[in-house]
Structure 1
């Protein structure tokens, strides 16, 4: 009995000693850019294999030896940190932009920027999502030296002309070649059968790419581009690399944005006048022309003119119409994205879906985009394989900008403030010259709609022949279906 008691006491004492040799450490990991929790960050005791990952709130908790002094915290795309162990730790990770800049994506793979002899510039995906725009190319403005982007219109999803180091031709197209995950995408606005649409309807296929799915963009500017892609790259190449799966526990990411846009105060030279100011200007002109001797008589001359030409009696209580204000509106933007990323040593995955909606500042204009992406990357020994599928559907309503009076902004400056938008019975006043409100009514006006479907499929197989030599197949399908 004494032996049993002694063994029991030794067991309790041993458990107590083992417990005393460890301590619990907890904390939170957040991103320096947006103060959001970092999900799935690795937390390891320095010099050991003891560790854990952060949960959906960026929090972690683990037992560490009492002798442990430092934790190593890391996450893909962020700078790793070594931090001293303290109670209730709070760690902030910064984006690892330096590592991104060190790699250049070319036609056949990647190489360190220090070893790349051509002219190229890399832009990280985080820079693209800072600006909410249907076309991710507009986010590159001011970020890449020598890259010029000119928007023909301000309509959502509108085509944006892009040149790298100026125009290389007067008559031919000047657009660079776009390459997405190794697949060349046709996006030139030139030609009758352009994938962007015709005239005012032109919308960039690049607007169908969700910026949240982009990992990085490499802009190839010089002869290096033509050496890789041939004559199609005469105007430069924009290489888009999309996000892939990553080894580790499944990490979910959801983002939501909302915003508004409006036309700021106009220069006084472009302001429209109200009815009272309109009358004053005309009566002053009539007096200067010697058609009347005083303002009252000038008012009668003006009233007779307006009545005979437009059937409107200015002596009556006529409502003043601000036609410019009638064709403008406050635009709205909504952007929602959900993605999941994870995998193991043999298979990694990335799945995303997004919805983008942008109402333009001009009535009758707007864009909706539905996008999705699937990326699978696997390997078995020396054999590697993968598949990426990206698809999107955009529904765009726009307005005429090239013609004269059917362009609503041009029309409002030729309409008079006594001309009414609607008749007394509520119907549109079609006597008003090119009534822009009636023409751009989404339900009863002209239909100017474009539906664009894009699909990019990219399967590949790799085989590692030696430690320094890999054989790779790279097939792809790029489909753009346009209905306008």
Structure 2
């Protein structure tokens, strides 16, 4: 590690010296050249459109770094020479170029562009590029898309809006996580498929900061991306292919998500206040048995098992509980209403040289589960940009600080609500206390006395300095810093137990997790641009040095004198440190990009990166990745230039490699830990991981071809893309025999995973009148994931998990044969024909749970002051059906469909005979049924994912703008799926909620 640290430091020093030398050399010989430049003059003027002056229009001198912005009156002033060309550009308007002659004043009127798609500038990370000139695959959404959604996490705002990007929410609990897959699964490791997140140029770690023992009520740990306030985001770009991601090297194997926050704009000071309030409810409940159906099932189960006298603990049927009582426990325990409130205020403005923005937000969410549980987030965001008078020096600062407080139940009641007998007793007795029904009822509300708290503080800061050394040469430095403090507690008081059931022996306990993570980033860069007579050349070189340190402490305490002291670890009678570590991650890279554009129709883009990571052993720390992308704008050819139908046409291709080092720190070293056991007054060490210096980077090879076409002045814009990715040299834990003392060793597995797919995006401007506008966006993605090769698979422990030629997301199951009409039991196929039913021989049917295709249809409609935006998301997939906790007939409620059960010999029934548990053959048949393809069902759906309606209130005061809004998320779902929410894939946890909000926005 010391040797590597020296390499990193020396590499940075050498690069910094090179930049200084280049700066010295260029400034010394630049002076004589400047004497030969043409005489400069001050050009002033105004920019407007059909309705009046346009503020914040960008005015630049073509081929130079000189630029400015128009003020609130559309006025600008810039220095230029005779013969220079001024470029006037503004989002949504056609770009205008004006040649400077002898005039000192220029007036320009911009015209609206029907779509302006081709002129949109796309953020590609280290550089930006116009949409029409990009050679890579980049999907983008803007603040207009995000603001229309009442979501607390930016990942939720991306759902359904980007081709090739599959996002699944992990639950309806506030603060929960998301699964993000960009063009499939590349790694065999579940934690090796996360994309790289970049926020304002600073890498943001998506590694889990939670601890399973402290957030058991959630389907996954707290999402780190919750610290990003969606209302502060200006745009999100997703880089997908090799051309777009290779410049990020090892960190771009699974795609890159670029999040750009809002910035101030030149003009008069503007104040904005946005306040919304809303409610959230569970989207769909499972249709369960009522009391009559349930008791009939239970009594039939005992009769089938030959039991005539009900057991003493069968409280539901032996007369202990009221057989005429009915409670819909899903509505009782999960049918509450979550209250959601959000308020944001901002101030922005500035001059042509300095712009600023300050904003603050406060969001609170309760839950649908009974109890005092809340999530709150307070966020502050600032951005300041400044440019010198001559435009050579620029500085930009952006920063954000977020505080999150999340208190959620440690026990999710979703499974309990589905299992409870419908005639179970009331939750409270006559005195308002928890009802234990004479020790016959385990009250589910008692579990809510256990809770988890998560207190997270995030700081993210970024400074970008740039200086135009020459008109065509710019030096830039990107400095970033992140600081995360996460403190979690899981509180388990002894009062969760029935007071009458051995109350005195119950022990209170506390679980603590403290995680701190800091990261430093330094990125010097040089960019040289030059326009020639018929071509242009853009060269970028730079380096990255990143240092990240993570410290964690996991502790447990038991036995508190009073529950009022339970959150204080010092008050515990016994304390145990479950884990404590400090890890350091060092990363260094040198990168470069060369872009050549010939006649604005032939473009080639080459990127490369030399990466170094401290996560690999000596000799394996460095690797090189690169890509080449090319584009042909064939609509610029002479034979198509005058076409009245085809307004834009581009064919692009890319090929390259990227890597992956998402394996955690120190994985190649012999590592030791402690289980905390004390032997003769000494706590010893035990080996945890074997030394393996030979494992290195995972590598991914990506190939893409795409066609982009615009018709009728781009009113119809269609993009077709085909891609294939191959990931090899897989980093996995290879299992070892127990005799070695280790469960596995980290190594590179000679296995290859391929992802192939097609993506379609279509945008149409259906109507573009003065009062009425209507546009449609459609995305469609179809992908196939395949395990191409896996030498020695049959003899490995992975044999029961993977099949060569099949997706890596498969499950192996029994082949279901139905209910035997004679025995009344479920049957599965004897696939190997040996006369026995065994998992090794017969649990071999392969079921693919990868979505066959997915996409969305979005419509935006505007009529005068009214605006309507709605998006339908659709998925074609197979998924796990509702999985009951026990065979029908047990002390658990069941789906109402299980009323169609086998009764007697000869019956052709859908479900097997009920059993109380005494029929071992029925229990075995049920377990095989649960592991069969009978539980893999059609989970396809069409969902009104988002709807937003707004009205701009006409006010007499021109200085005030007022907008009234109504928004909905997960509003309506059409699906054949009977197991609850078809989008949600964790059946034992609370599914995502339907959220409806109303609000008002004031700008003045």
Q: Same fold (TM over 0.5)?
A: yes
Name the structure 2 match of 1:362. 369
Aligned equivalents of 2:115 and 2:192: distance in 1? 34
CA contact (8 A) 1:123 1:218 kept: yes
Which of 294, 307, 322 is 2:328 aligned to?
322
Aligned equivalents of 2:56 and 2:321: distance in 1? 80
Q: The residue matched to 1:476 in structure 2 has which SS?
A: strand
Which of 388, 391, 408 is 1:398 aligned to?
408
Residues 197 and 183 (structure 1), Cα distance of their counterparts in 2 relative to 1, 3 Å cut: farther
Name the structure 2 match of 1:220. 239
Answer yes or no: is 1:410 the counterpart of 2:415.
yes
Residues 438 and 464 (structure 1), Cα distance of their counterparts in 2 relative to 1, 3 Å cut: same
Q: CA deviation at 1:156?
A: 1.7
Residues 179 and 290 (structure 1), Cα distance of their counterparts in 2 relative to 1, 3 Å cut: closer
Which of 271, 274, 277 is 1:255 aligned to?
274
Aligned equivalents of 2:117 and 2:367: distance in 1? 38
Q: CA deviation at 1:351?
A: 0.6
Name the structure 1 match of 2:474. 470
Name the structure 2 match of 1:122. 140
Q: CA deviation at 1:303?
A: 10
Name the structure 1 match of 2:200. 181
Q: What does the per-residue CA deviation read over 1:391-448, in whole Å, with 9 as the maximum and x for residues that have no partner? A: 1111223345xxxxx54111223323233323444322354665332222xxxx1121
Answer yes or no: is 1:426 the counterpart of 2:444.
no
CA contact (8 A) 2:137 2:240 kept: yes
More helix by percentage: 1
Q: The residue matched to 2:145 in structure 1 has which SS?
A: helix
Name the structure 2 match of 1:437. 445
Residues 285 and 465 (structure 1), Cα distance of their counterparts in 2 relative to 1, 3 Å cut: same
Q: Which runs of 5+ in 1 are unaligned?
A: 1-28, 30-37, 45-50, 55-73, 81-92, 293-300, 401-405
Q: CA deviation at 1:178?
A: 0.4
Aligned equivalents of 1:205 and 1:138: distance in 2? 13
Aligned equivalents of 1:146 and 1:383: distance in 2? 39
Residues 438 and 79 (structure 1), Cα distance of their counterparts in 2 relative to 1, 3 Å cut: farther
Answer yes or no: is 1:143 the counterpart of 2:161.
yes
RMSD over aligned CA atoms reads 3.9
Q: What does the per-residue CA deviation read over 1:204-228, in whole Å, with 9 as the maximum and x for residues that have no partner? A: 1212211111111111012234432
CA contact (8 A) 2:393 2:467 kept: yes
Q: The residue matched to 1:98 in structure 2 has which SS?
A: coil
Which of 343, 349, 367 is 1:342 aligned to?
349
Aligned equivalents of 1:209 and 1:96: distance in 2? 33
Name the structure 2 match of 1:84. none
Q: Which runs of 5+ in 2 are unaligned?
A: 1-50, 58-69, 74-87, 95-110, 489-1004
Which of 480, 487, 491 is 1:483 aligned to?
487
Residues 203 and 95 (structure 1), Cα distance of their counterparts in 2 relative to 1, 3 Å cut: farther
Which of 170, 174, 183 is 1:165 aligned to?
183
CA contact (8 A) 1:205 1:454 kept: no
Aligned equivalents of 2:113 and 2:217: distance in 1? 41
CA contact (8 A) 1:272 1:322 kept: no
Q: CA deviation at 1:337?
A: 1.3
Q: CA deviation at 1:272?
A: 5.0
Q: The residue matched to 2:434 in structure 1 has which SS?
A: coil
Name the structure 1 match of 2:63. none
Name the structure 1 match of 2:290. 273
Superposed counterparts of 1:276-315, under 5 Å: 277-283=293-299, 306=314, 312=320, 314=322
Residues 321 and 95 (structure 1), Cα distance of their counterparts in 2 relative to 1, 3 Å cut: farther
Aligned equivalents of 1:101 and 1:135: distance in 2? 29
Aligned equivalents of 1:139 and 1:356: distance in 2? 16
Q: CA deviation at 1:108?
A: 1.8
Answer yes or no: is 1:449 the counterpart of 2:457.
no
Answer yes or no: is 1:375 the counterpart of 2:375.
no
CA contact (8 A) 1:306 1:314 kept: no
Aligned equivalents of 1:117 and 1:241: distance in 2? 21
Aligned equivalents of 1:101 and 1:204: distance in 2? 35
Q: What does the per-residue CA deviation read over 1:115-162, in whole Å, with 9 as the maximum and x for residues that have no partner? A: 221111121111012111111111111111110112222212211011
CA contact (8 A) 2:71 2:352 kept: no
Q: The residue matched to 2:414 in structure 1 has which SS?
A: helix
Q: TM-score scaled to structure 1, two decimals?
A: 0.70
Name the structure 1 match of 2:992. none
CA contact (8 A) 1:173 1:188 kept: no
CA contact (8 A) 1:220 1:238 kept: yes
Q: CA deviation at 1:278?
A: 4.0
CA contact (8 A) 2:266 2:350 kept: yes
Residues 361 and 389 (structure 1), Cα distance of their counterparts in 2 relative to 1, 3 Å cut: same
Residues 320 and 252 (structure 1), Cα distance of their counterparts in 2 relative to 1, 3 Å cut: same
Aligned residues: 389
CA contact (8 A) 1:247 1:348 kept: yes
Aligned equivalents of 1:334 and 1:191: distance in 2? 25
CA contact (8 A) 1:253 1:340 kept: yes
Q: CA deviation at 1:313?
A: 5.3
CA contact (8 A) 1:257 1:335 kept: yes
CA contact (8 A) 2:209 2:221 kept: no
Residues 367 and 264 (structure 1), Cα distance of their counterparts in 2 relative to 1, 3 Å cut: same
Q: The residue matched to 1:398 in structure 2 has which SS?
A: strand
Q: The residue matched to 1:227 in structure 2 has which SS?
A: helix
Aligned equivalents of 1:197 and 1:410: distance in 2? 13
Aligned equivalents of 1:134 and 1:43: distance in 2? 30
Residues 264 and 447 (structure 1), Cα distance of their counterparts in 2 relative to 1, 3 Å cut: closer
Aligned equivalents of 2:276 and 2:282: distance in 1? 21
Residues 287 and 453 (structure 1), Cα distance of their counterparts in 2 relative to 1, 3 Å cut: same
CA contact (8 A) 1:164 1:176 kept: yes
Residues 448 and 145 (structure 1), Cα distance of their counterparts in 2 relative to 1, 3 Å cut: same
Aligned equivalents of 1:407 and 1:312: distance in 2? 27
Name the structure 1 match of 2:149. 131
Answer yes or no: is 1:331 the counterpart of 2:331.
no
CA contact (8 A) 1:339 1:350 kept: yes
Aligned equivalents of 2:305 and 2:217: distance in 1? 47
